[in-house]
Amino acid sequence: MKISVVGCGYLGAVHAAAMAELGHDVVGIDVDTAKIELLASGRAPFFEPGLPEILTSARDSGRLRFTTDMSEARGSSVHFIAVGTPQKKGEYAADLTYVNSAVDALIPFLTDGDLVVGKSTVPVGTAADLAVRVSSGAPGAMLAWNPEFLREGFAVKDTISPDRLVYGVSSDHDGAVAKEMLDEVYAKALSENTPLVVTDYATAELVKVSANAFLATKISFINAMAEIAEVAGADVTQLADAIGYDARIGRRFLNAGVGFGGGCLPKDIRAFSARAEELGRGESVAFLKEVDAINLRRRQRVVDMVRESLGGEVYQKKVAVLGLAFKPDSDDVRDSPALDVAVNLHGLGADVVAMDPQAIENSKRLHPQLLFTESVEAALRHADAVVIVTEWKEFRELDPVAVKALVKSPVIIDGRNCLDAIAWREAGWTYRGMGRP
């Protein structure tokens, strides 16, 4: 199919490349010239495993191009809207400026039978508004809502082989046509029996935000248990294993630690709360405020643990902060708990040296006051304490015996519960995990 993807950020760049990889003829459109130039040369503007490979192969096949010129959307029959919906400044609600302006800019280039497909995460009710906007600006064009569930670090796989597809379509003939067109877009996934839910706009929008709200709640639940475990002398990792054996609960997303961050979960639960309040049902998701509060407390907890381990004072103590990205295999530092911990320790006067395999550039842009190093050894050398806040493989695989020789005092705070506590203690380290004795 001929496809345009409007918005080439995280979601859009991956989606455009993946659609071309599936054999479609794709044009990616964005207002950011620098980003478009990078993508057009086959390079990814951010770190995402597997993306450079499919960008290059799709470009070489002639099926993928990038432009800043919206008129190049003309001729495509399916137009994905993949722009961001960040948190509004000073408010919890989502900022829909980019979605609205992308649709407005696209409308003049739509022709009869074209399908506009929203992928961005939006407050429930947005698609219905946009459907009116599309049909009044381009009668004959249609709208569908097809939320994206991709995880950073697995974005290519999640796009090409999603664990489910959701189409929000209108209940009339247009809705049936939209479904057929989306079936053609996703023919490969459907042929592999990917579950498909065809529903209305509101349900499709809510599926996305409720999925993220559920995941955030799961993480904050286990972090709340970590808080209790800390005062009761229990071990939250064993607790998670034990409850996780219950198939109704499941072990995934029950890793206690410094909490969740990133470009989705934090802002999506806040936008959901704001939207529920607008709808007069704030109390239905009032628990999300608690989910957010528990999550933010864990960052402070890590800082407090570093302070306690250093005798109550971090001032002028060298603290090696291992990790800046909000999760491993990503260079994303949006709302990153790891970066927050580094900044807070620096604010308390600690001599912070931060290391991350991919996220230094992005961190530097936001917090140039921090000292960064590309090498784990340099970060650890003469450190009074080490704190792991992103569980990159190279941190998980550190040899406690070998690295002990580098530090001034062998104190490690495992903010992700990703190390073998016994091995580190046996090597002579003072090891502290989250919610573990």
Touching ligand UDX, residues 223-282 (CB under 6 A)? 253-255, 257, 259-262, 264-265
Task: Report the residue number, 332 or 384, with the smaller CB distance to ligand UDX.
Answer: 332
- Is 38 an interacting residue with respect to ligand UDX (CB under 6 A)? no
- Is 149 an interacting residue with respect to ligand UDX (CB under 6 A)? yes
**Counting runs of H as helices and runs of E as strands, what totals does the chain give?**
18, 14
- Is 10 an interacting residue with respect to ligand UDX (CB under 6 A)? no
For residue 389, the number of C-alpha atoms closer than 13 Å in the C-beta half-sphere is: 38
- Is 433 an interacting residue with respect to ligand UDX (CB under 6 A)? no
Quick one: tokens of 351? 């001599």
Place of tokens 């992700």: 416
Task: Report the residue number, 264 or 310, with the smaller CB distance to ligand UDX.
Answer: 264
Rounded least distance, CB 164 to ligand UDX, Å? 11
At position 285, the amino acid (one-letter code) is V
Of 96, 166, 219, 302, which one interacts with ligand UDX (CB under 6 A)? Answer: 219
For the question of residue 8 being annotated catalytic, the response is no
Stretch that binds ligand UDX, among 51-59, 143-151, 199-207, 306-314 (CB under 6 A): 143-151
Instruction: Using alpha carbons, select from 338, 400, 341, 406 the residue that is nearest to residue 378.
Output: 406
Check 38, 264, 265, 354 and give the catalytic one.
Answer: 264
Residues in binding contact with ligand UDX, number by CB under 6 A: 20
Q: Helix 10-21 and helix 51-61: axis angle, to 10°?
A: 50
**Dist. CA 35–CA 38, nearest whole Å:** 5
Q: Which residues pair with 354 in a beta bridge?
A: 321, 372
CA dist 14 to 58, 127, 376, Å? 12, 22, 30
Of 327, 346, 432, 436, which one interacts with ligand UDX (CB under 6 A)? Answer: 327
- Is 297 an interacting residue with respect to ligand UDX (CB under 6 A)? no
- Is 151 an interacting residue with respect to ligand UDX (CB under 6 A)? yes
Rounded least distance, CB 96 to ligand UDX, Å? 18
Burial of 40 (0-12, 13-18, 19+ CB in 10 A): middle
Task: Report the residue number, 21 or 391, with the smaller CB distance to ligand UDX.
Answer: 391
Q: Strand 411-414's sheet: what is its strand order?
A: 371-372, 351-355, 318-322, 385-388, 411-414, 430-433
Query: N- to C-terminal Cα distance for the chain?
Result: 57
- Is 431 an interacting residue with respect to ligand UDX (CB under 6 A)? no
- Is 326 an interacting residue with respect to ligand UDX (CB under 6 A)? yes
Of 212, 217, 237, 363, which one interacts with ligand UDX (CB under 6 A)? Answer: 212
Task: Report the residue number, 28 or 257, with the smaller CB distance to ligand UDX.
Answer: 257
DSSP 205-231: HHHHHHHHHHHHHHHHHHHHHHHHHHH
Q: State the catalytic residues.
A: 264
Query: Which residues are near ligand UDX by CB under 6 A?
Result: 148-152, 212, 215, 219, 253-255, 257, 259-262, 264-265, 326-327
